[in-house]
């Protein structure tokens, strides 16, 4: 049986992280998880939750903790989302960009800055992919250009084709219109600017997708030309962020390969 959301949120986690603010709004902070041995490669880990304010960074903590235990410096940003002041367009995107810029200084003593991955789950996968390919100075992204060059980009059940996803009818798909303030025909420039399927990457993204995912269709993992696709039979939407699953082992292997020296 695929893992449920409640099975992830029910996991006990030792909250062994530092909270670092990158702005003044309540949601403008990140959680920094450190491994036992440093310097170590880093992972910017963006949580999902359909870009909605009711789903926060807390549900990615089991994965963040597990990755830190595996030897990674993990930077898990919270960000303004749909349903809170400043969330949606363009605040959600601004926050992810600014949070990533804050990572090297916050983790300076621990981070191997030449081995950083951008990664995210679901809507967080969309944001991580966008961040890796963003064009500073565009409507969605603040200048200057990123000082955090990723060695690797990974999406876990990531939403990659925002145009097609916006036309779906599940509850997560319906949020895209609120995030973008319209359908693709209403906001064509915005969709072109932030839909990962339309962007160019510094390295081919790695897309890990459960074949039994009811929230993000498997076709989303095929939307980025040149991406490496890793399909997991019988895995649902949340298996990959649960550290006690076979899907987590697949994720860990993919990260290790992507960040190998």
DSSP string, the chain: -PPPHHHHHTS------EEEESSSSTT-EEEEE--SSSSEEEEEEE--STTBTTS-GGGGHHHHHHHHHTT-EEEEE----BTSTT-STTHHHHHHHHHHHHHHHHTTTTEEEEEEEEEEETHHHHHHHHHHH--TTSTTS-SS--S---SEEEEES----HHHHHT--STTTTHHHHHHTS-TTTSHHHHHHH-GGG---SS--EEEEETT-SSS-GGGGGSSTTPEEEEETT--SSGGG-TTSHHHHHHHHHHHHHT--
The stretch 28-40 carries a mean pLDDT of 98
State yes or no: pLDDT of 171 exceeds 70. yes
Pairing of strands 111-121, 206-210: unpaired
In whole angstroms, what is the distance from residue 51 CA to residue 124 CA? 8
Percent of the chain with pLDDT over 70: 97
Instruction: For residue 120, give the nearest of 74, 85, 164, 88 by alpha carbon.
Output: 74
What pLDDT, on the 0 to 100 scale, is given for residue 198? 95
The CA angle 144-147-150, to the nearest 5 degrees, is 125
pLDDT tens figures, 45-89 = 999 999 999 999 999 999 999 999 999 999 999 999 999 999 999
The CA angle 193-156-50, to the nearest 5 degrees, is 60
The stretch 113-131 carries a mean pLDDT of 97
pLDDT tens figures, 87-101 = 999 999 999 999 999
| Across 53-62, 113-122, 131-140, 250-259, least confident range | 131-140
State yes or no: pLDDT of 143 exceeds 60. no
The CA angle 158-163-168, to the nearest 5 degrees, is 80
Question: How far apart, in Å, are the Cα atoms of 199 and each of 58, 152, 204, 250?
Answer: 29, 15, 11, 26
What pLDDT, on the 0 to 100 scale, is given for residue 134? 87
Which phi and psi angles does 76 have, rounded to 5°?
A: -110, 100
CB 173 within 8 A of CB 161: no
Other CB atoms closer than 10 Å to residue 197's CB: what's the count?
A: 19
Q: What is the CATH number of the domain that holds 230?
A: 3.40.50.1820
Indicate the pLDDT class of residue 149, thresholds 50, 70 and 90: confident
> What tokens appear for 211 in the block?
């074949």
State yes or no: pLDDT of 146 exceeds 70. no
Percent of the chain with pLDDT over 90: 92
State yes or no: pLDDT of 140 exceeds 80. no
What pLDDT, on the 0 to 100 scale, is given for residue 142? 64
What pLDDT, on the 0 to 100 scale, is given for residue 144? 56
Domain hosting 110: range is 5-258
CB 117 within 8 A of CB 100: no
Indicate the pLDDT class of residue 145, thresholds 50, 70 and 90: low
Indicate the pLDDT class of residue 242, thresholds 50, 70 and 90: very high
How many domains would you assign to the chain?
1
pLDDT tens figures, 189-241 = 999 999 999 999 988 999 999 999 999 999 999 999 999 999 999 999 999 99
End-to-end C-alpha distance for the chain, whole angstroms: 36
Indicate the pLDDT class of residue 147, thresholds 50, 70 and 90: low
């Amino acid at each position: 049986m695929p893992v449920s959301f409640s099975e992830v949120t029910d996991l006990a986690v030792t909250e062994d992280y530092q909270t670092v603010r990158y702005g003044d709004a309540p949601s403008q902070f990140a959680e920094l998880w450190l491994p036992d041995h440093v310097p170590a490669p880093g992972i910017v880990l963006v949580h999902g939750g359909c870009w909605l304010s009711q789903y926060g960074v807390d549900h990615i903590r089991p994965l963040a903790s597990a990755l830190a235990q595996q030897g990674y410096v993990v930077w898990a940003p919270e960000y303004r989302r749909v349903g809170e002041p400043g969330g949606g367009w363009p605040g959600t995107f601004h926050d992810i960009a600014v949070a990533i810029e804050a990572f090297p200084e916050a983790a300076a003593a621990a981070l191997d800055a030449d081995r950083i991955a951008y990664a995210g789950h679901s809507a967080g996968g969309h944001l991580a992919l966008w961040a890796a390919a963003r064009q500073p100075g565009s409507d969605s992204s603040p200048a200057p250009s990123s000082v955090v060059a990723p060695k690797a980009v990974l999406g876990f059940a990531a939403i990659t084709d925002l145009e097609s996803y916006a036309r779906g009818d599940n509850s997560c798909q319906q949020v895209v219109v609120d995030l973008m303030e319209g359908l693709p025909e209403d906001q064509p420039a915005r969709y072109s600017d932030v839909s990962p399927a339309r962007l160019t990457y510094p390295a081919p993204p790695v897309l890990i997708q459960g074949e039994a995912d009811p929230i993000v269709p498997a076709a989303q993992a095929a939307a980025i030309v040149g991406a490496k696709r890793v399909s997991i039979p019988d895995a649902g939407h949340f298996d990959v962020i649960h550290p006690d699953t076979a899907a987590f082992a697949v994720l860990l292997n993919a990260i290790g390969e992507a960040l190998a020296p």
